[in-house]
Amino acid sequence: MGARRAETLVFKVDPERPDPEAVKAAARILRGGGLVAFPTETVYGLGAVASNPRAVMRIFEVKRRPPDNPLILHVSSVEQLFEVAREVPPHALKLVDRFWPGPLTLVLPKSERVIREVTGGLGKVAVRMPAHPVALALIREVGEPIAAPSANLSGRPSPTTAQHVLEDLGGLIEAVLDAGETLHGLESTIVDLTSDPPVLLRPGALPVEAVEEVLGRRVLVPDFARGLGEADRALAPGTRYRHYAPSAQLVVVEALDYSDLGPLASTVRRLVEEARGRRVCILCTEETEGLYEGLPATLLKLGSRREIFTVARNLFKALREVDSLGCELVIAEGFEERGLGLAVMNRLRKASGFQIVRAS
Ligand code: AMP
Ligand code: MG
């Protein structure tokens, strides 16, 4: 188990024009087998050189991540995609053309070069090219793909700032590149292209509707991608674990129809009243905050329902904040499963450990 190290180096860098010396120093640490957390446009990743089995194993140790939950390979060029994937079908290239660099991870048959520690022994590999100048500069400087999951302790909300990384992994990893808050605040969308039709393994910062538009066909959205239930490990590793969770109990209140927020708000109010004596937080929205006035609960506003991008961006931050506020029960409002709303619901349902209450 990862012993606390003396100190985690923090390299503060400009997100747009990172200091080349800081990037070089971080790349040296990686090449030496160390772990470096780095910003991407989604969340902060915890990187190791993808070809180094000992470094990759250490990712699992410090995160306390089950070894069968595989990592995403981060590349800085399409050539690197061809090195790690055995086959890159034309529809994969279409997606690459349109969305890379960006928050879309493709699952493809793996090449011989990808070590088993990265894929948890599976025959497929997950690959993406991040759209963040710091991440791209780092991968280029290392000269080969970087294996990286999110830089949080397993089960905790993903980090959207370097402070979040240090909260979870300070003293356990060699360094973090600090470029401030990430853009999306939500992980990448993962699509498995090895099956027909393609399957959404995880909704994320790129709406699945955009992927379907480019492919010109439907992508299968299984229940586990909605955050309902668990998938077979060979199909969708990682979906079986409770994820993104604060220490507090979390309940999601879901409406059948979000065009009328009345039943949603009255169900939230009832749950607050039933929770007498416990410290309650409500994850609410601009549209509903006025409906909770006078309740013995702390309101954390995620944003407006008309701007789901902002809601998604604030979600993980809020899931960490409820713990620092000492909340014992978190009541989260649900969202329509459209666009980024699908990813938001996936995260909320998993964070709740599937404690879902229907609005009535
Ligand atoms: P994280 O970056 O922490 O969100 O973790 C990466 C996630 O990518 C895992 O939890 C899996 O869901 C997914 N993933 C990585 N590699 C594969 C793979 N070979 N096949 C299917 N899913 C994968
Ligand atoms: Mg993660």
Task: Report domain extents, the chain.
Answer: 9-226, 249-358
Q: Which of 48, 12, 23 lies closest to 134 in space, CA to CA? A: 23
pTM of the model: 0.96
Q: Is the CB of 251 under 6 A from ligand 1?
A: no
Q: Which ligand is nearest to the CA of 123?
A: 1
Ligand 1 neighbour 219 (Cβ under 6 A): no
Distance of CA 141 to the CA centre of its chain: 24
Q: How many CB atoms lie within 10 A of CB 337?
A: 18
Residues 6+ apart with CB under 8 A from 149: 45, 46, 59, 63, 65, 69, 71, 72
Quick one: CATH architecture of 249-358?
A: 3-Layer(aba) Sandwich (3.40)
Please tell me the distance from the alpha carbon of residue 252 to that of residue 271, in angstroms, as a whole number.
11
Cα Rg of the chain, angstroms: 20
Residue of 31, 36, 35 whose CA lies nearest to 13: 36
Of the residues 44, 60, 63, 69, which should be mutated to test ligand 1's pocket, given the most ligand atoms within 8 Å of the CB?
69
Could you give the dihedral angle defined by the CA atoms of residues 321, 322, 325 and 329, in that order, rounded to the nearest 10 degrees? 180
Helices (H) and strands (E) in the chain, counts: 11, 15
DSSP-H helix ranges across the chain: 20-31, 53-63, 78-84, 90-99, 116-119, 133-142, 162-169, 208-215, 262-274, 308-324, 341-351
CA separation for the pair 18, 304 (Å, rounded): 33
The encoded tokens of residue 121 equal: 């022994």
Position 355 scores a pLDDT of 93
227 CB under 6 A from ligand 1?
no
Q: What is residue 230's predicted lDDT score, i.e. its pLDDT?
A: 75
pLDDT at 229: 77
Note residues around ion ligand 2 (Cβ under 5 angstroms).
149-150
Q: How would CATH label the architecture of 9-226?
A: Alpha-Beta Complex (3.90)
Residue 320, pLDDT score: 97
CA–CA gap between residue 174 and residue 34 (Å, rounded): 6
pLDDT (0 to 100) of residue 303: 98
Please list the pLDDT of the chain residue by residue as tens digits (360 residues): 344 556 999 999 999 999 999 999 999 999 999 999 999 999 999 999 999 999 999 999 999 999 999 999 999 999 999 999 999 999 999 999 999 999 999 999 999 999 999 999 999 999 999 999 999 999 999 999 999 999 999 999 999 999 999 999 999 999 999 999 999 999 999 999 999 999 999 999 999 999 999 999 999 999 999 999 777 766 777 666 667 889 999 999 999 999 999 999 999 999 999 998 999 999 999 999 999 999 999 999 999 999 999 999 999 999 999 999 999 999 999 999 999 999 999 999 999 998 999 999
